[in-house]
């Protein structure tokens, strides 16, 4: 799965511009990866629509391969869906665990207690499961291994009473983690029971514990538990297996919550606080997506800074290259049409520009976009010395940018006209004007 996504992406390596078909292909592979990671179908569709739309509309920052740009969009969209990890302040609090039998609640309770103990807090686990015969012993043994406080009562029958008593008996602890019973399915008595426990415990945070292998069933569970006790976050267990935990996304989406912890083994130390980066990379079967996104973001900021740094006067210094033209076109996006930009240059407003051919000023937004696409497929050398661009290069650039050779020629034509204009400007006024300004 991940490997076919990587294959598709590798094919696109080095392209500075992706065609609509390229983007379709990437989005298809991402859909495939997400579906096989158990992400809900309608979520996958929603995600891929957003990814497609943004990939087609947004401009990659200069120098960023289009493939990296699309991946950063994929990452951002997934982060937007999953969010940062569930907020858990390192202070006194009560946490209630909910979930089906075997999802990993008891194990997670001990693991979380261990995790809080490493943060210098004093946690206690309260075991309220009277349903499963071995529940008390299991919880007791695990909390011993975690070296944290524990309360349970193998002889008591009322889980609500155990919860009440447990909070009293462990009053010296500052973090209370209340474990509950599960069932094979969502039965009414289970829901009633957990609602009553919730009423007594009044948790600060209620977490839904889900097995990473859960698929489409995540939605119903999340909905029912959310309606009965309100779910603030999700714990995904058994991520040390082959399952990727995509069902948790459904739960997060359904409950409008986030992910708190990941379980990665059977030992009490096998727990991680959720981080979107690693989780998303794993979901897609790709490494380092977060880092890549950071890099693209930095490039984006750099482009913005470069644009701010550019002054219309720069056009008049030295050789006018395609790089200048591109910068100038980008700047015009912010500043307005070329003739207005000319007005901003000291000494060149008013009458002088009227002597220039109209065509030199005529770069519509539409053409600017096309030109920008074409220039992204040129090498730096070509942009610095456009006169050396011959028929072979024109063919290559057209192919690389997914445009026609005719358009590339048009761009070069426009460049020549602008260069001539700029030269005229340089000849016309600059000398005397500069002298006047320096006085």
Shortest reach from residue 233's CB to ligand GDP, in Å:
16
Partner touching 103 among ligand GDP, Mg ion, none, CB below 5 to 8 Å by kind: ligand GDP
Backbone angles phi and psi of 127, in degrees to 5? -100, 115
- Find, among 372, 361, 348, the residue nearest to 432 by Cα: 348
Interaction with ligand GDP in 202-221: which residues (CB under 6 A)?
209
Q: Are 184 and 132 in contact (CB under 8 A)?
A: no
- Does 265 bind ligand GDP (CB under 6 A)? Our answer is yes
Task: Tell me the window of 236-244, 288-296, 368-376, 399-407 that interacts with ligand GDP (CB under 6 A).
Answer: 236-244
By beta-carbon proximity to ligand GDP, the closer residue of 184 and 439 is 184
Shortest reach from residue 226's CB to ligand GDP, in Å:
18
Figure out which of the listed residues 263, 290, 312, 400 binds ligand GDP, where binding follows CB under 6 A: 263
Distance CA 322, CA 330 (A): 12
Residue in the block written with tokens 């292998």? 213
Interaction with Mg ion in 96-115: which residues (CB under 5 A)?
105-106
By beta-carbon proximity to ligand GDP, the closer residue of 265 and 285 is 265
The reply, when asked if residue 183 is annotated as ligand binding, is yes
Q: Are 203 and 231 in contact (CB under 8 A)?
A: no
By beta-carbon proximity to ligand GDP, the closer residue of 116 and 261 is 261
Q: Are 16 and 62 in contact (CB under 8 A)?
A: no
- Does 101 bind ligand GDP (CB under 6 A)? Our answer is yes
Figure out which of the listed residues 65, 104, 247, 400 binds ligand GDP, where binding follows CB under 6 A: 104
Partner touching 238 among ligand GDP, Mg ion, none, CB below 5 to 8 Å by kind: ligand GDP
Q: What is the separation, in whole angstroms, between the first and last Cα of the chain?
A: 70
Figure out which of the listed residues 240, 288, 311, 362 binds ligand GDP, where binding follows CB under 6 A: 240
Partner touching 99 among ligand GDP, Mg ion, none, CB below 5 to 8 Å by kind: ligand GDP
Partner touching 146 among Mg ion, ligand GDP, none, CB below 5 to 8 Å by kind: none
Sheet holding 271-273, edge to edge: 149-151, 123-127, 175-179, 93-98, 205-211, 233-237, 259-263, 271-273
Binding footprint of Mg ion on the chain (CB under 5 A):
105-106
Binding residue ranges for GTP: 99-106, 179-183, 237-240
């Amino acid at each position: 799965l991940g490997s076919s996504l990587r294959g598709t992406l590798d094919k696109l390596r080095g392209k500075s511009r992706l065609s609509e078909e390229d983007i379709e292909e990437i989005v298809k592979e991402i859909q495939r990866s997400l579906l096989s990671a158990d992400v809900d179908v309608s979520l996958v569709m929603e995600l891929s629509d957003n990814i497609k739309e943004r990939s087609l509309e947004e401009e990659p920052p200069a120098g960023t391969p289009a493939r990296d740009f699309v991946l950063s969009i994929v990452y951002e969209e997934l982060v937007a869906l999953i969010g940062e990890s569930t907020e858990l302040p390192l202070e006194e609090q009560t946490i209630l665990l909910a979930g089906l039998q075997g999802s990993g609640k008891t194990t997670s309770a001990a693991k979380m207690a261990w995790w809080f103990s490493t943060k210098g807090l004093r946690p206690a686990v309260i075991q309220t499961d009277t349903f499963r015969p071995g529940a008390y012993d299991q919880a007791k043994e695990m909390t011993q291994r975690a070296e944290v406080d524990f309360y349970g009562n193998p002889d008591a029958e009322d889980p609500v009473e155990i919860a009440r008593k447990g909070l009293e008996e462990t009053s010296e602890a500052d973090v209370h983690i209340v474990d509950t019973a599960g069932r094979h399915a969502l039965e009414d008595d289970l829901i009633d029971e957990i609602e009553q426990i919730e009423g007594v415990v009044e948790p600060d945070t209620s977490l839904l514990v889900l097995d990473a292998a859960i698929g489409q069933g995540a939605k119903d569970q999340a909905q029912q538990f959310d309606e009965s006790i309100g779910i603030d976050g999700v714990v995904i267990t058994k991520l040390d297996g082959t399952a990727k935990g995509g069902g948790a996304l459904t739960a997060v989406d359904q409950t409008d919550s986030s992910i708190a912890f990941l379980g990665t083994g059977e030992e009490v130390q096998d727990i991680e606080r959720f981080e979107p980066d690693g989780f998303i990379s794993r979901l897609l079967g790709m490494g380092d997506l977060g880092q890549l996104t950071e890099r693209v973001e930095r490039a984006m900021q750099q482009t913005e800074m470069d644009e701010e740094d550019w002054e219309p006067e720069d056009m008049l210094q030295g050789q006018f290259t395609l790089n200048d033209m591109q910068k100038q076109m980008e700047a015009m996006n912010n500043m307005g049409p070329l003739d207005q930009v000319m007005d901003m240059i000291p000494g060149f407003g008013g009458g002088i520009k009227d002597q220039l051919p109209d065509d030199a000023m005529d770069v519509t937004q539409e053409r600017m976009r096309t030109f920008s696409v074409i220039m992204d497929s040129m090498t730096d050398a070509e942009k610095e010395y456009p006169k050396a661009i011959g028929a072979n290069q024109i063919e290559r650039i057209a192919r690389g940018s997914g445009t026609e050779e005719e358009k590339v020629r048009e761009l070069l034509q426009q460049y020549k006209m602008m260069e001539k204009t700029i030269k005229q400007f340089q000849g016309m006024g600059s000398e005397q004007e500069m002298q006047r300004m320096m006085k």
